Amino acid sequence: MFKPALLLFLVSISLSAQKLGNRTAFELRGAGKGLSIDKIYLVYEVGDKRIYDSVKIDNSKFILKGNIDYPIRATLCNNREFSMSKSNSIELFLEPAIMEIKLDFYDFSTAEMKGSKTQDEYSQLQKVKNVVFSKRDSISLLIRSYFDRITAASDPQIKLELEHQLEILEKLSDENKIAEMEIDFNFIRQNPSSFTAPSLLYYRLAKKEGLLHSETIISLADGLSKEVKESPLGVRLFKRISDFKNSKVGSIAPDFILKDYNGQIVSLGSFREKKYVLIDFWASWCGPCRQDLPFLKDAYEKYKDMGFEIISISRDNNLNSWRKAIVDEKIGFWKHISVAENQTKMEDNYLVTAIPVKILINKRGEIIRRWKGGGDENKMQLKKILEETFDRD
């Protein structure tokens, strides 16, 4: 049920439809305070091209310029590595217009921006969600404290009680995420012409709570205005929806033909009617990914001669680190592919936004299960499926 403040907000936003489309220059004029820095950095996407820009700060002021057709989402940051936190970066919506932003160079969380209607909409929506944000932060702090207490506990009974409390907190966290998502959904229903809408839906479709409400997300996307659908943010959203449909359980797994660790060509289609394939998205720097490797080695050794193959897809940018991890972990006997080396968009095709992700494909090429994250529960589910598949005889 809407609160009065939210209703007023939705009505006010719906009156401000944007009429944009012709290629126009944008200017982001900034003024900062606090200890100054040498440069400020901006990154945004136009179509398939990611644009990195920077400008020197002169007397605590800067002007960033570019060309865009429609409102786009961008990140402003105080370091060239784009090592981001609430204090050193901010996500914002640029428009083909002259915009102004005031900020503390070492605390971007206090930034104030003018001249972008899309940013105004987004900022007001964030204010509506402040209650769920506060609850989210409180729950997150409690969850971290319970993890620490469980780790330190030596008494089995105390540990069991703490784990029970942690389960309750995680359930509350999930409920709060759904409440936040519903606020987004209600905003989009009332404002199908808002350029914030495709960005909100794009983000949600990659999250656990969003995947559980994928039909709603797709329905809301279909109801967006023509102008929003044709914008870069709209095109990106419908590409993600397509990737979701093509990589969900029950779909035929997207094919690929890529070079592996040994320079050999690996084609997913070549395993059709021959083997079950587990695709493991990982990286050498990913702790949970590497914690799963002993389990994967055991599974591979047990079932490799019964029609089971593993293809590990690494998102390592440092190929030396990737190769070293394969050697150190002694996992070179199954297939290994580097996203960076192949310059492939395979992660997008399989809707992989965070790792680890494991996808099990049957001999017909159908995706029969997906797992996101590591942990014993996911491993036990995979173990059970492999046993039911290969140990029946």
Q: What is the tens place of the pLDDT at every residue in 265-297?
A: 999 999 999 999 999 999 999 999 999 999 999
Burial of residue 78 (number of CB atoms within 10 Å: 0-12, 13-18, 19+): buried
Query: In this structure, is the dihedral angle defined by the CA atoms of residues 192, 193, 199 and 202, taken in order, positive or negative?
Result: positive
User: Which of 12-26, 69-83, 87-101, 223-237 comes out lowest in average pLDDT?
Assistant: 12-26
Instruction: Answer yes or no: is pLDDT of 90 > 70.
Output: yes
The amino acid sitting at 346 is M
Q: What is the pLDDT of residue 106?
A: 85
Cβ(310)–Cβ(296) under 8 Å? yes
Burial of residue 69 (number of CB atoms within 10 Å: 0-12, 13-18, 19+): middle
Q: What is the pLDDT of residue 86?
A: 80
Q: How far is CA 123 from CA 13, 24, 100, 233, 351, in A?
A: 11, 24, 15, 18, 28
Q: Mean pLDDT throughout 36-47?
A: 86
Q: Mean pLDDT throughout 50-72?
A: 92
Instruction: Answer yes or no: is pLDDT of 19 > 50.
Output: no
Q: What is the pLDDT of residue 201?
A: 96
* Residue percentage of the chain with pLDDT more than 70: 93
Q: State the pLDDT confidence band at 15, using cuts at 50, 70 and 90.
A: very low
- Spatial distance between the Cα atoms of 252 and 236, rounded to a whole number of angstroms: 22
Q: Mean pLDDT throughout 88-101?
A: 94
Cβ(344)–Cβ(338) under 8 Å? no
Query: In this structure, is the dihedral angle defined by the CA atoms of residues 364, 367, 373 and 379, taken in order, positive or negative?
Result: negative
Q: State the pLDDT confidence band at 207, using cuts at 50, 70 and 90.
A: confident
Q: What is the pLDDT of residue 22?
A: 46
Hey, how many other C-beta atoms are within 10 angstroms of the C-beta on 215? 8
Q: What is the pLDDT of residue 18?
A: 39
Question: Which domains, from first to last, does the chain contain?
Answer: 24-115 (2.60.40), 119-246 (no CATH), 251-391 (3.40.30.10)
Q: Mean pLDDT throughout 50-78?
A: 92
Hey, how many other C-beta atoms are within 10 angstroms of the C-beta on 208? 11
Average pLDDT, rounded, for the chain: 89
Q: Where are the alpha helices (DSSP H) in the chain?
A: 4-14, 117-128, 130-152, 156-190, 197-204, 208-211, 214-222, 226-230, 232-247, 287-291, 293-303, 319-329, 339-342, 346-349, 376-390
User: Which of 23-27, 235-239, 259-263, 331-335 comes out lowest in average pLDDT?
Assistant: 23-27
Instruction: Answer yes or no: is pLDDT of 372 > 60.
Output: yes
User: Which of 13-17, 62-66, 359-363 comes out lowest in average pLDDT?
Assistant: 13-17
User: Which of 7-16, 66-75, 250-259 comes out lowest in average pLDDT?
Assistant: 7-16
Burial of residue 360 (number of CB atoms within 10 Å: 0-12, 13-18, 19+): buried
Is pLDDT larger for residue 13 or for residue 105?
A: 105
Q: State the pLDDT confidence band at 20, using cuts at 50, 70 and 90.
A: very low
Q: What are the DSSP calls for 194-207, one per residue?
A: -TTHHHHHHHHTTS
- Selection from 258, 236, 124, 138 nearest residue 191 by Cα: 124
- Spatial distance between the Cα atoms of 178 and 130, rounded to a whole number of angstroms: 14
Q: State the pLDDT confidence band at 206, using cuts at 50, 70 and 90.
A: confident
Q: Mean pLDDT throughout 157-166?
A: 91
Buried b (16+ CB within 10 A) or exposed e, 45-68: eeeeeeeeeebebeeeebebebeb
Instruction: Answer yes or no: is pLDDT of 9 > 60.
Output: no
Q: What is the pLDDT of residue 35?
A: 67
Distant-in-sequence, close-in-space partners of 209: CB < 8 Å, separation ≥ 6? 174, 177, 178, 181
Q: What is the pTM of this model?
A: 0.79
Instruction: Answer yes or no: is pLDDT of 14 > 70.
Output: no
Instruction: Answer yes or no: is pLDDT of 11 > 50.
Output: no
Radius of gyration (Cα) for the chain, nearest Å? 24
- Selection from 353, 35, 6, 317 nearest residue 211 by Cα: 353
Cβ(139)–Cβ(169) under 8 Å? yes
User: Which of 16-30, 100-114, 159-173, 190-204 comes out lowest in average pLDDT?
Assistant: 16-30
